[in-house]
Amino acid sequence: MKEKTRVEDVDRSIYDIKNKDLDAYKFQSGLDQDVVLQLSYEKNDPKWMRSFRLRCLEMFNEMNMPQWGPAIDGLDMDNIVTYVRPKDNKMVADWDEVPDEIKSTFERLGIPQAEREALAGVGAQYDSELVYHNLKEEVKQQGVIYSDLESALHGEYADMIRDHFMKLVPPNDHKFAALHGAVWSGGSFVYVPPGVKVEIPLQSYFRLNAPGAGQFEHTLIIVDEGADLHFIEGCSAPKYNIANLHAGCVELFVGKNAKMRYSTIENWSKNMYNLNTKKARVEEGGSVEWISGSFGSHVSYLYPTSVLAGRGASSEFTGVTFSGGGQDLDTGCKAIHLAPDTTSFVNTRSISKDGGKNTFRSSIVVMPEAKNSKAAVSCESLMLDSISRSDTIPAMDIRTKDADIGHEAKIGKISDDAVFYLMSRGLSEEEAKALIVSGFADNVSKELPLEYAVEMNNLIRLEMIGSIG
Amino acid sequence: MIVKIEGNHLPKETWNRLDVNIAEIDCLPDFSGKDIDVLEIEGWTQGRFGSKYHEDLSPRDTDEIRALSKKGEIFSGVGPEVDKLIVANRIKSYRFQTATKNPKPLIINLEYLSGSADFTPVEIVVEDDAEAVVIEQITAKKVVHSMAGAQIKFKIGKNSKVTFVQVQDIDSNMIFINDVGAVQQEDSEFNVITAIISGGTTYYGCQSNLYGKRAKYNHDIGYMVKGDEKLDMNIVAEHIAKKTEASIHAEGVLRDNAYKVFRSTVDFNAGCTASVGEERENVLLMDDTVINKTVPLILCDEEDVEGAHGGTIGRLDDETLFYMMSRGMTKEEVYQKIANARLDAVVNKIPVPEVRDWWINRLHPEEEE
């Protein structure tokens, strides 16, 4: 009997460890004006932020659920707790001061080790609050600011934050942007001064421990003219039998001739509704690279968007999505060309197995002013069995004749010819298929720092099953 | 009074902001059935039947359409709203049927005049082991305030082969619904050649259900959209049975204030093992005031298939431009030549020489002189 390669499901054992819910403070579930006002009070919001939150709540209540993507019927906001503050909450800059249980969680996830070995700074969020935030001294001396967003709202960067907060992702963008605007909590603010190159990455890690809770962190990054930053985002949660919600927001402002690389390894548990919004605005000569590995969540809506606002701005999106049983992951990207000589490249891979559903969704818009723009979209999907599903829905809206746009996609199973070729080189059928599947996700892993590539490859472990007969 | 109907449904929706999920068609409330001047054609029988036939195909959502397609129902590319229109206006359909290998080509001429409000539903049955060539020629010149439509549905039997040629050259003031549907049985072939030379506002849809094993659907489309014309298309290949093949290939040119939407879907349903589907579109944009929307979908519910799409949108590549300009042509002349060539390539595939030559001459009257 011919055997089939079995791609082992993403190994979640280290992510599934649950801490007891010894929260100091937890809102009641549901969402109404009282909840928003209470949150604003807890956060000591400036007046403008309080008003902003309330306006966002109104918008959320008025807007409809999206009808074009995976079903989110299982998400009932009345059952979601929008704010959970861990016990003994205090944001510190020393891991030894983090409460033991929380610290051990992050240690199991390898965060402190990664910080020691490979990062310029780390922000670690547990449920709704940051518990750790630190930036290496040498990076501080470059003038880099890396702080929690809430403190920054009251400090010397308050005006800068007000000028940028939810301007790129306005709350009327979609219903869950409005929700985010109403109940956001936690997250980071990064400012990189002109000409500064941050040699090693900064990282934020988001851990959602409480069952039935939502996490709504906001990441705001401003990379000023000629600066260069790599930011890595990681996330995970233990699996529960009730829904959790992640409706975070990432806003990246990439200045003239600046570079921003934003890498994400998303590994939420399979009860998570991941309705995240990420957007970058790139000025003249600037570039943004999105590196995205999506392995978790029950349902995902995730489409990092690049607005190419200045002449010569560019974006690159490299992604891999892995859907297993019980997952319906709708991922992709968007690029909006507003200026001449802009370029966007999209290279994605997806793997679906055990009944997983995968949708690649993209949008390339080239406006009349975007003369001499180029865009290329490439999507490959691998289906490993007949009970899974894979759809590609790329869309292009082009409004100038002076553009070069190309797109391509492929869907299928592992190529018999490729397997035959490798077998003729001495590999067994099992080894051949394992090699092909491993290489299939290489587009993302090779773009990550080694430690993260290793983590990603650990998430996709291949296992060959032999049978005789 | 204008009635809005929805057509050209994208089989799986995307962001509403892109405005490609459906086409909202401004429709006249009342239509008459347009008679076809059909002489006795060797190898064909013909008849009429009432609009009741279309009642069962009242509007449904795309999931239900897909489920019914799997049972052998024919759905057309523009969608069930067209059938509703036929029922509401009690328009009788034509039926043409053949069981022979080489009947004479069936030529359907639809010529429209000013003030038209005509609709022509046609069913064509090609029985097992038969072959047929069907040509639909849609023309209208200097018409004002007209709206019309035609729906042709094919039932293609086992081991039979149909070549369907559509050429459309209508006035820019006209609105036209050009709707095609087919259900294909085992080992059948459905080769469609569509040339849209000019079209006013055209809603074009073609859906073929590859219901029988080893059925093949091949669709070549050439279009030119210019002036203030609008072309909204929806091409769907529903792979239902095993070892089915589909190939959708479109070449187009947009100029002036043209607006075009091209939706193309290869849909692999569960069970269609060893099927192959591919779609390709190349669009040449010749002015900055055009709007081009392209949405090529591959939907896949089956592991053992091969699906692919590709395409290019925009200007000519530098090499081609350089080569042709080095032969003495201006840039404008090069673009015009390439634009003409794209339509010519499709028109040249018309298998009936007299018809092909007639259209070539219509496209290039200066060469005849």
User: pLDDT tens digits for A386-438?
Assistant: 899 999 999 999 999 999 999 999 998 888 888 899 999 999 887 787 677 76
DSSP codes of every residue in A67-105: SSSS--TT--GGG-B--EE-TT---BS-GGGS-HHHHHH
Q: Rounded to a whole number, what is the largest CA-CA distance in chain A?
A: 73
What is the predicted pLDDT for the residue at B74?
83
* Residue B91 φ then ψ, to 5°: -90, 130
Task: Looking at the complex, report in whole angstroms how far the Cα of residue B82 sits from the nearest Cα belonging to chain A.
Answer: 24
- Lowest-pLDDT choice from A17-21, A84-88, A451-455, B14-18: A451-455
Task: Looking at the complex, report in whole angstroms how far the Cα of residue A348 sits from the nearest Cα belonging to chain B.
Answer: 14
* CA proximity to B195, closest of B358, B333, B307: B358
* Chain B residues close to A176, C-beta within 8 Å: none
Specify the 3-state DSSP secondary structure of B153. Answer: strand
A241 CB-contact burial (10 Å; exposed 0-12 / middle 13-18 / buried 19+): exposed
Q: Are A465 and A6 in contact (CB under 8 A)?
A: yes
What is the predicted pLDDT for the residue at B184?
97
- Report d(CA A364, CA A148) in Å as an integer: 33
Q: A468 pLDDT exceeds 60?
A: no
Q: B245 pLDDT exceeds 80?
A: yes
| Contact residues for B255 (Cβ-Cβ < 8 A; gap 6+) | B224, B225, B226, B285, B286, B287, B290, B339
Alpha-carbon dihedral A35, A41, A47, A53, rounded to 10 degrees: -20
A243 CB-contact burial (10 Å; exposed 0-12 / middle 13-18 / buried 19+): buried
Q: B55 pLDDT exceeds 80?
A: no
What is the predicted pLDDT for the residue at B179?
97
To the nearest 10 degrees (0 to 180), the angle between helices B331-347 and B318-325 is 110
* Chain A residues close to B268, C-beta within 8 Å: 411
Of the pLDDT bands very low, low, confident and very high (cuts 50, 70, 90), residue B229 is: very high
Give the C-alpha distances (Å, rounded to integers) separating A172 from A169, A214, A216, A274, A362: 8, 20, 16, 19, 20
- DSSP at A32: -
| Contact residues for B15 (Cβ-Cβ < 8 A; gap 6+) | A68, A361, A363, A395
Question: Considering chain B, what is the average pLDDT of its residues?
Answer: 90
Q: Are A87 and A126 in contact (CB under 8 A)?
A: no
Contact A390 B305 (CB under 8 A): no
What is the predicted pLDDT for the residue at A389?
95
* Chain A residues close to B291, C-beta within 8 Å: 397-399
- Report d(CA B75, CA B272) in Å as an integer: 19
The single residue listed with the structure tokens 């807890």 is A42
What is the predicted pLDDT for the residue at A225?
98
Of all residues in chain B, what percent carry a pLDDT higher than 70? 94
Specify the 3-state DSSP secondary structure of B67. Answer: helix
* Chain A residues close to B315, C-beta within 8 Å: 401-404
- Lowest-pLDDT choice from A299-313, B67-81, B208-222: B67-81
Task: Looking at the complex, report in whole angstroms how far the Cα of residue B353 sits from the nearest Cα belonging to chain A.
Answer: 35
Contact A412 B288 (CB under 8 A): no
- CB-closest option in A359, A397, A405 to B314: A405
* CA proximity to A392, closest of B307, B64, B101, B239: B307
Contact B14 A388 (CB under 8 A): no
* CA proximity to A236, closest of A319, A296, A148, A180: A296
* CA proximity to A364, closest of B18, B6, B172: B18
Task: Looking at the complex, report in whole angstroms how far the Cα of residue B11 sits from the nearest Cα belonging to chain A.
Answer: 10
Mutation site, B10, B313, B318, interface A, largest A CB count within 10 A: B313
Q: A463 pLDDT exceeds 50?
A: no
Contact B314 A401 (CB under 8 A): yes
Question: Considering chain A, what is the average pLDDT of its residues?
Answer: 88
Contact B287 A401 (CB under 8 A): yes
* Chain B residues close to A404, C-beta within 8 Å: 312, 314-315, 317
Q: Are A305 and A335 in contact (CB under 8 A)?
A: yes
- CB-closest option in B16, B296, B306 to A394: B296
Q: B58 pLDDT exceeds 60?
A: no
Task: Looking at the complex, report in whole angstroms how far the Cα of residue B4 sits from the nearest Cα belonging to chain A.
Answer: 21
Q: Letter for the amino acid at B253? A: V
Domain-wise residue ranges, chain B? 3-316
How many interchain CB pairs under 8 A, A with B? Answer: 128
What is the predicted pLDDT for the residue at B114?
75
Of the pLDDT bands very low, low, confident and very high (cuts 50, 70, 90), residue A462 is: very low
Contact B298 A386 (CB under 8 A): no
Q: Are A110 and A53 in contact (CB under 8 A)?
A: no
- Report the range out of A410-419, B21-30, B280-289 with the highest average pLDDT: B280-289
Task: Looking at the complex, report in whole angstroms how far the Cα of residue A219 sits from the nearest Cα belonging to chain B.
Answer: 24
Contact A401 B16 (CB under 8 A): no
Q: Are B295 and A393 in contact (CB under 8 A)?
A: yes
Of all residues in chain A, what percent carry a pLDDT higher than 90? 57
- Report d(CA A199, CA B314) in Å as an integer: 39
Of all residues in chain B, what percent carry a pLDDT higher than 90? 63
- Report d(CA B275, CA B292) in Å as an integer: 30
Give the chain A residue nearest B257 (alpha carbons): A399
Give the C-alpha distances (Å, rounded to integers) separating B154 from A402, B209, B347: 41, 10, 22
ipTM: 0.93
* Chain B residues close to A68, C-beta within 8 Å: 13-16, 21
